[in-house]
Structure 1
Amino acid sequence: MLSATQLLENLLDRARGVTETETVAIAAALGRVLAVPQTSSIAVPPLDNSAMDGYAVRLADMAQAGVRLRVSQRILAGAVGAALLPGTAARIFTGAPVPLGADAVLMQEDCTADGEDVLVNTLPRPGENIRRAGEDIEAGAQILATGARLGAAEMGLLASVGLAEVPVFKKLKVACFFTGDELATPGAPLAPGQIYNSNRYTLTGLVNDLGCELIDLGIVPDTLEATEAALTCAAREADRDGAERQREERQTAAPEGCGGIGFFDDQSTHGLEGPYSLPLICSGASGQRPVGDFDSGRAPQVPRGFARVVGC
Structure 2
Amino acid sequence: MTERGDDAKPGFDEARAIVTASAPPPVELIVPLADALGRWTAADLFAARDCPGFNASAMDGFAFAADATAAATAQMPVALAIAGEYRAGHSSTAAIPGAAYPISTGARMPIGCDTVITTERARVIEKSGQRFLVFHMPETIGRNVRCQGEDAQVGALVLTPGQRITAEAIGALASYGVSDVPVFRSPGSRSFRPVTSWAGHPRRAPFPMPMAR
Structures share fold, TM-score greater than 0.5: yes
Q: In the alignment, is residue 77 of structure 1 matched against residue 88 of structure 2? A: yes
Determine the C-alpha separation between the residues in 1 that align with 2:108 and 2:53: 9
Alignment of 1:45-84 (within 5 A): 45-62=52-69, 63-65=71-73, 66-84=77-95
Secondary structure of the equivalent of 1:44?
Answer: coil
Structure 2: runs of 5 or more not aligned: 1-6, 190-201, 203-213
Secondary structure of the equivalent of 2:11?
Answer: helix
Determine the C-alpha separation between the residues in 2 that align with 1:81 and 1:114: 26
Match of 2:184 among 144, 169, 175: 169
1:135 is aligned to 150
Q: Post-superposition, which runs of at least 4 consecutive aligned residues in structure 1 deviate over 6 A? A: none
Task: Compute the TM-score of the two structures, normalised by the length of structure 1.
Answer: 0.51
2:4 is aligned to none
- Opposite residue 95 of structure 2, the aligned amino acid is L
Secondary structure of the equivalent of 1:73?
Answer: coil
Q: In the alignment, is residue 24 of structure 1 matched against residue 31 of structure 2? A: yes
- Opposite residue 133 of structure 2, the aligned amino acid is V
Cα 1:14–1:4 shift into 2, 3 Å: closer
Task: Compute the TM-score of the two structures, normalised by the length of structure 2.
Answer: 0.73
> CA offset at residue 121 of structure 1?
4.9
- Opposite residue 91 of structure 1, the aligned amino acid is P
Q: In the alignment, is residue 13 of structure 1 matched against residue 8 of structure 2? A: no
> CA offset at residue 5 of structure 1?
1.4
- Opposite residue 64 of structure 2, the aligned amino acid is V
> CA offset at residue 59 of structure 1?
2.3
Determine the C-alpha separation between the residues in 1 that align with 2:183 and 2:50: 24
Contact conserved, 2:44 with 2:160, CA < 8 A, in 1? yes
1:127-158 deviations in whole A, cap 9, x for unaligned?
11111111100111111111111111211111
2:163 is aligned to 148
Secondary structure of the equivalent of 1:166?
Answer: strand
1:263-290 deviations in whole A, cap 9, x for unaligned?
xxxxxxxxxxxxxxxxxxxxxxx7xxxx
Bigger relative contact order, structure 1 or 2 (CA pairs below 8 A, ≥6 apart): 2
2:111 is aligned to 100
Give the RMSD, CA atoms, in angstroms: 2.1
- Opposite residue 146 of structure 1, the aligned amino acid is P
Instruction: Find the structure with the greater CA-based Rg.
Output: 1
Determine the C-alpha separation between the residues in 2 that align with 1:123 and 1:108: 17
Q: In the alignment, is residue 123 of structure 1 matched against residue 138 of structure 2? A: yes
Aligned residues: 174
2:9 is aligned to 3
1:49-96 deviations in whole A, cap 9, x for unaligned?
111111111223211143221111100011123212222111111111
Contact conserved, 2:48 with 2:178, CA < 8 A, in 1? no
- Opposite residue 64 of structure 1, the aligned amino acid is A
1:35 is aligned to 42
Q: Give the number of the structure whose residues are more often helix, by fraction.
A: 1
Percent of aligned positions that are identical: 31
> CA offset at residue 119 of structure 1?
2.2
Determine the C-alpha separation between the residues in 2 that align with 1:148 and 1:44: 21
Cα 1:120–1:111 shift into 2, 3 Å: farther
Secondary structure of the equivalent of 1:70?
Answer: strand
Determine the C-alpha separation between the residues in 2 that align with 1:17 and 1:111: 65
